[in-house]
Amino acid sequence: MSDHDERLDETHQRPAGVTDATVEALGALSKALETTERARGHLYDFHQLTGSADFELDRAVKLLRDAGHTASADRVEREILGRNVIPGHWTFQIIEAYNVTYYEPFKSVEDEIRGELADGADHLFEAELKEKRRTGGHRDHTAT
């Protein structure tokens, strides 16, 4: 079999009976989940950046005290250090709520629908796009 005739591995081939419309719909569902994955990553960025800022406040409080600004140091310590970012919540609690309320159900529904409609095959839309766009015989355009 030449590189031009080579096909993608079995896990990325369309199961029998799966229509173009189904592949397109599953591709859109997958893209939406991928966007959610990115949003979730930004929540972790928010979490880590906020935590880093909170720890930097320790240094700011110390430097304010060392510079003789005790009242300002006390105010930062009292008003900002360890403060909730939204009422009743630190950033880790926002992530936990997001995961339980939105991310995990979304991931589960996407997985179940792929299982029902395409025998669990993942990225069929992208795999078929790869097949259409690769150059047969080119060493960097192989199917697998």
The pLDDT tens digits for 44-87 are: 999 999 999 999 999 999 999 999 999 999 999 999 999 999 99
State pLDDT tens for residues 23-46.
999 999 999 999 999 999 999 999
* Angle, alpha carbons 76-81-84 (nearest 5°): 125
pLDDT band at 5 (very low <50, low <70, confident <90, very high): low
pTM (2 decimals)?
0.81
CB atoms near residue 12 (< 10 Å): 18
Domain boundaries, the chain: 24-131
Q: How far is CA 71 from CA 13, 76, 77, 79, 114, in A?
A: 68, 9, 10, 12, 60
Which residues, at least 6 apart from 31, have a Cβ–Cβ distance to it below 8 Å? Answer: none
* Angle, alpha carbons 36-82-92 (nearest 5°): 25
